[in-house]
Structure 1
Amino acid sequence: MTIVRPYGDTTGDGMVQVSFTLPLVHDKRAEGAAVQLANKMGLDPAMLVHAKPMGEGFTFFVVYGRVNHLVDTDEVQVVERDFPLLSAKEINAVIKRKLRRRLTVVGACIGTDAHTVGIDAILNLKGIAGEKGLESYRELAVTNMGAQVSVPELVETARAQKADAVLVSQVVTQRDAHLLNTRAMSAAFREAMPAGRRPLLIVGGPRFDELMAADLGVDRIFSRGTTPREVASYLVHALVGSPS
């Protein structure tokens, strides 16, 4: 068992920094409200280190203070990578040898989400962080539908392309839009296709909890920091099998 506390100025001092916005005009009362909120969050003492108006009637705050909470790392639950991280050459070779056809992927941002940076980083040839996207893999056939794609459009395209996998990116999270859209998408695929013919459903975005895959009805969730090679390696693991 490993118990840890936050580190601020000295080891184990419990100091943390939090930021938030309150719907208040910036004045002394608003600053006092920010400190009161921080106290109720468990920061004691709480020190206001930054306050700035954010449009009419809103103020952004940064508060620094001590918490007494401890974290037991043995109780932390995460989704560990349970598949080997393959090179592009290995991925292409495994698909060609075992699947004996190109692996088909359809990707989109669904609902009103117009933020294509995430899906483009994974799919487009340019890729991200020095890694080329899935379009660069010769054994992958990739269709990037872009932004604001409706769920029926996605299902129809996946059916027409005989997709092995569907990748959905969700960045907009207001009112849990990413969760609602993902549940609607997975329900639509379950209704439209029998279990044995449904594509692999994968979602990604910075605000997803990777532990929620079963609850959302998808096969895998990828969060921030995911690279194209990691997604491609998972596709091979889930759809083709062992590279050996």
Structure 2
Amino acid sequence: MTNTTTAATKLDLTKIKPYGDTMNDGQVQMSFTLPVPAGEEANEAARLLMKQMGFSEPSVVYFKDLGIGYTYFVCYGKTTHTVDYTSIKVTKVEVDIMDRLECEKYIEENIKRTVTMVGASTGTDAHTVGIDAIMNMKGFHGHFGLERYHGVNAINMGSQVPNEELIAKAIETKADAILVSQTVTQKDVHIPNLTQMVELCEAEGIRDKIVLVCGGPRISHELAQELGYDAGFGPNTHAEDVASFILTEVVRRGLV
């Protein structure tokens, strides 16, 4: 009989390490920039920094002079540290994901009216890639956006929309949900902006009457809940993920 046991089935999940060439070799690739001019001294500085981070056998495999005294590095090194994968608990959105047609059927059978969702990239954020991927008809990577969903009135207000304007549009349209996208997050600028949105919703008396969600590259469900949102969606989120949560939440909270 052929032995079909794989390396993965033999792996001790209580002590996992990065994988490079062989299982548990601890090999890591890291890139970073140092504020020093390119040269042998810069490469040695990068190597020593990797060593101080706890990596063994550190090496600089690529460097690029960025000009004006900065150098970009790609380095390799091995770590001896492990993680107990079995002990990890992640706060995440718990919902059965429905595809577009299933969402449309859910609306027809459980809500029996058009569901209005308004969204925008708020504050100073000029990037619409996130909100467009969720709301625009064409969506992203074969996942159609909310504008294509029958039974959904999707209103995408674009970028750099003040929180006050987004809330005003939600009140005007009697929206069931507000979607806030935050792509620009340098220096945690998204935190006060997201916080203000919740505070304004509470001040307008609509917080308990609306499903409030946010998303972006540095958004997690845990962070969103800490800030007062119903859900948070990070990278690799599609329209059906957001729609499934909003629709089931509308029903769960009796907002039909």
TM range (shorter): over 0.9
Percent pairwise identity:
41
CA contact (8 A) 1:16 1:65 kept: yes
Which stretches in structure 1 are left out of the alignment for 5+ residues?
Answer: none
The residue correspondences of 1:4-43 to structure 2 (distance < 5 A) are 4-43=16-55
CA displacement 1:49-107 (0-9 Å, x = unmatched): 11112242221111100111101012223234522221322212222332222111001
Give, in whole Å, the separation in 1 of the partners of 2:48 and 2:173. Answer: 56
Q: Which residue of 2 aligns with 1:237?
A: 248
- TM-score normalised to structure 1 length: 0.92
Q: C-alpha displacement at 1:29, in angstroms?
A: 2.2
Give the secondary structure class of the aligned counterpart of 1:166: strand
Task: Report Cα offsets for 1:23-63 as digits up to 9, x if no partner.
Answer: 22212222222122212221122111111122422211111
Q: 1:188-230 CA distances to partner (integer Å, 9 max, x unpaired)?
A: 2122225432x21111111223321222221111111111111
Q: Verify the 8 A CA contact 1:94 1:240 in the aligned structure 2.
A: no
Code of the aligned partner of 1:48: V
Counterpart of 1:222 (choices 211, 215, 233) is 233
| RMSD of equivalent CA atoms | 1.8
Alignment size in residue pairs: 241
Bigger mean CA deviation after superposition, 75-84 or 199-208: 75-84
Alignment of 1:61-140 (within 5 A): 61-140=73-152
Alpha-carbon distance between aligned partners in 2 of 1:178 and 1:74, rounded to the nearest angstrom: 32
Distance 2:99 2:22 in 1: 42
Give every structure 1 segment of 4 or more consecutive aligned residues whose post-TM-superposition deviation is greater than 3 Å: none
**If the length of structure 2 is used for normalisation, what is the TM-score?**
0.88
Whole-Å Cα distance in 2 between the matches of residues 55 and 215 of structure 1? 41
Structure 1 equivalent of residue 57 of structure 2: 45
SS of residue in 1 equivalent to 2:189: helix
**Structure 1 residues 88, 241: closer, same or farther in 2, change over 3 A?**
farther
Report the Cα distance in structure 1 between the residues aligned to 2:33 and 2:212, rounded to whole angstroms. 35
Distance of 1:213 and 1:9 partners within structure 2? 38
Which of 139, 156, 160 is residue 172 of structure 2 equivalent to? 160
